[in-house]
Structure 1
Amino acid sequence: MSATSPRAVKAVIPAAGFATRFLPVTKAIPKELLPIVDKPVLQYIVEEAAAAGADDVTLVTAPGKDAMVDYFDARADLDNALRAKGKDAMLATVKAPESIAEITAIRQGGAKGLGHAVGRAASHVGDEPFAVLLGDEFYPLEDRLLPRMIDLQAETGGIVLALVEVPDDQVSRYGVAAVQATDDPDVVEVTGLVEKPALEDAPSNLILIGRYVLPGSIFPVLEGTGPGSGGEIQLTDAMDTMRAKGTPVHAVVYRGRRYDTGEPVAYLQTLVELASERDDLPGFNAWLRAFSATLD
């Protein structure tokens, strides 16, 4: 590990969107707080950052989303009520989010794109490397995706992405990477990035997923990046500008389980899968098997 490339200990979670695919519930409840049974998506994401050593977390938020910050704060009245009823196990569960990470909230100030959202964290992150975790997906801690990315960024000093392989008919929905192989079968060098290309223009079927580890030097580049795809400031454009000017860009090719919560069907799939793995929900799997049989 290079002495001139410190390991990222800060994380940014952009969470200012309207979540229109989940309206009307997201008019009042942030999508990031939708539950996986009794634990919100956002807690899984913050735990993922903290487990990788990035336990200084900035939430980029919007009006109406203060509940995300409240979730990680202490509630003395609730604590006292649970303690008085002898519900010690539940009290421990309720208090756990308070100590996962140090949480800071910054308002985005308008829906101007992912690049703009990340750029809003500049004053807190400074010139240090940092992780970006999108708020609508998370990954098993045992797969160590984010720690691997942070280690790779410390080794290279550049930009590190996460990629997954998708069928050709899906590439036009995502940012796509052009890549070259390295000696490590799970690491590639990224030679270009294209945002939502037509299939015939896609350089590969390796798409960007919602994990990035970036050098602090990206902030002035973001500030100088104009609107791109969709009329928004795209993080992809800023990263590709840096790549073209010599910043090394690598990616970890991820082959594990991705828990997607970005749209209703994917959210339900994640919810059911993780619920089925819990030992404290007796009867759920039996019901699920019986209900599934009625769908045949």
Structure 2
Amino acid sequence: MPRPIKKAVFPVAGLGTRFLPATKAMPKEMLTVVDRPVIQLAVDEARDAGIEHFVFVTGRNKSVIEDHFDKQYELEDTLRARGKSEALAELEKDLPGAGQTSFTRQQEPKGLGHAVWCARDIVGDEPFALLLPDMVMHARPGCLKQMMDVYNQRGGNGIAVEEVPWEHVHRYGVVGAKDWKDNAFTIDGMVEKPPRDKAPSNLIISGRYILQPEIFGEIEKQKPGAGGEIQITDAMIRLMAAQDFWGVKYKGTTYDCGDKVGFLSANVALALERPDIGPDFRAALKKILS
């Protein structure tokens, strides 16, 4: 049996320049999809997949993320005094238990691979999940839960993928696929932002990973790649020489909340399915579009 995965890493050190001025003083991960911060959606997905320890790789001006996952005594006392039991229960449900969160700093913006490497001492010699909070993966069961089901059968390293139009493959990390079984397959190649004629497929790496701890050693050897940054894709390509990688074409929809259109789309999609506000929102949207 593969070793169980109990830890998840969340890189949250990015500057959020695409959302300025909103992110001048507030982390982009705290932007809300309806009424839940983007980072909370990622933590919810991880918890539903069985994750017990949440590791955040932060940067300067990100302390509000740490506060979000802590108790707020004044707020809780006020809600209790006003009889707001439903809101209080919601806050308590979302709060990780004592000792279930860890925070470490990425002092310089050196890329995703470097951010993951900064979590090495907290993760230790264990397999772990990596979730990019910008990518809201809207699925039931959640994307990481779908990946865990495959991991429990295959072990190794896993990546969630999705199809994009061929003319867009140059924007992403792309994988080659063989030996499909249901929605899972063996990865036989990986390349970062290839031109269309060099792409092995139109299956892109979409922001959810299951990785073995040996990835840290590969990152440490890695030289800067695309954009002058330490790329996690380059380290995974090196690790592929020694370990198996598989992919899951997960069942769900991805919203890139690092992009304005993706962020607005996520808000619309998730608001429409909410039983408490969906009908009113649908009527308001119809009026706006008429």
TM-score using structure 2 length? 0.95
SS, match of residue 262 in structure 1: coil
Q: CA deviation at 1:139?
A: 2.3
Against the structure 1 CA distance between its residues 21 and 67, is the aligned structure 2 distance closer, same or farther, given a 3 Å change threshold?
A: same
Aligned equivalent of 2:262: 266
Q: CA deviation at 1:82?
A: 1.1
Aligned equivalent of 1:46: 43
Equivalent-residue separation in structure 2 for 1:99 and 1:59 (angstroms): 13
Aligned equivalent of 2:116: 118
Q: Which runs of 5 or more residues in structure 2 are unaligned?
A: none
Equivalent-residue separation in structure 1 for 2:78 and 2:146 (angstroms): 42
Say which of 1, 4, 7 aligns to 1:7.
4
Say which of 194, 197, 201 aligns to 2:198.
201
Q: Which residue identity lines up with residue 155 of structure 1 in the other structure?
A: Q
1:238 aligns with 2:226: no
Percent identical across equivalent pairs? 43
Aligned equivalent of 2:172: 174
Equivalent pair of 2:214/2:239 in contact (CA under 8 Å): no
Equivalent-residue separation in structure 2 for 1:122 and 1:149 (angstroms): 22
Q: CA deviation at 1:154?
A: 4.0
Q: Which runs of 5 or more residues in structure 1 are unaligned?
A: none
Equivalent pair of 1:188/1:252 in contact (CA under 8 Å): yes
Q: CA deviation at 1:100?
A: 6.8
Equivalent-residue separation in structure 2 for 1:147 and 1:273 (angstroms): 21
Aligned equivalent of 1:248: 244
Equivalent pair of 2:150/2:184 in contact (CA under 8 Å): no
Say which of 53, 59, 63 aligns to 1:62.
59
1:187 aligns with 2:184: yes
Aligned equivalent of 2:130: 132
Q: CA deviation at 1:219?
A: 0.9
Say which of 149, 154, 157 aligns to 1:156.
154
Aligned equivalent of 1:37: 34
Equivalent-residue separation in structure 2 for 1:224 and 1:125 (angstroms): 18
Equivalent-residue separation in structure 2 for 1:8 and 1:180 (angstroms): 25
1:81 aligns with 2:78: yes
Deviations 1:100-124 (A, max 9, x none): 7822111111100110000111101
Deviations 1:249-293 (A, max 9, x none): 110112422233121111001101111222222622111111111
Say which of 8, 11, 14 aligns to 1:17.
14
1:210 aligns with 2:218: no
SS, match of residue 139 in structure 1: strand
Q: CA deviation at 1:243?
A: 0.7
Equivalent pair of 1:11/1:131 in contact (CA under 8 Å): yes
Q: Which residue identity lines up with residue 196 of structure 1 in the other structure?
A: K
Equivalent pair of 2:49/2:145 in contact (CA under 8 Å): yes
CA RMSD, Structure 1 to Structure 2 (Å): 1.5
Aligned equivalent of 1:28: 25
Equivalent pair of 1:8/1:154 in contact (CA under 8 Å): no
Equivalent-residue separation in structure 1 for 2:155 and 2:89 (angstroms): 39
SS, match of residue 94 in structure 1: helix
Aligned equivalent of 2:286: 289
Equivalent pair of 1:48/1:138 in contact (CA under 8 Å): no
Against the structure 1 CA distance between its residues 222 and 154, is the aligned structure 2 distance closer, same or farther, given a 3 Å change threshold?
A: farther
Aligned equivalent of 1:280: 276
Against the structure 1 CA distance between its residues 236 and 19, is the aligned structure 2 distance closer, same or farther, given a 3 Å change threshold?
A: same
SS, match of residue 106 in structure 1: strand
Give the number of aligned pairs.
288
SS, match of residue 222 in structure 1: helix
* Off by >6 Å, runs of 4+ in structure 1: none
When structure 1 is superposed on structure 2, of 130-139 and 92-101 the one drifting more is 92-101
Equivalent-residue separation in structure 1 for 2:238 and 2:205 (angstroms): 17
Deviations 1:173-216 (A, max 9, x none): 0001112123x131111111110011111111111000000001
Equivalent-residue separation in structure 2 for 1:60 and 1:94 (angstroms): 23
Deviations 1:84-142 (A, max 9, x none): 11111112223332137822111111100110000111101111000000010222352
Equivalent pair of 2:6/2:53 in contact (CA under 8 Å): yes
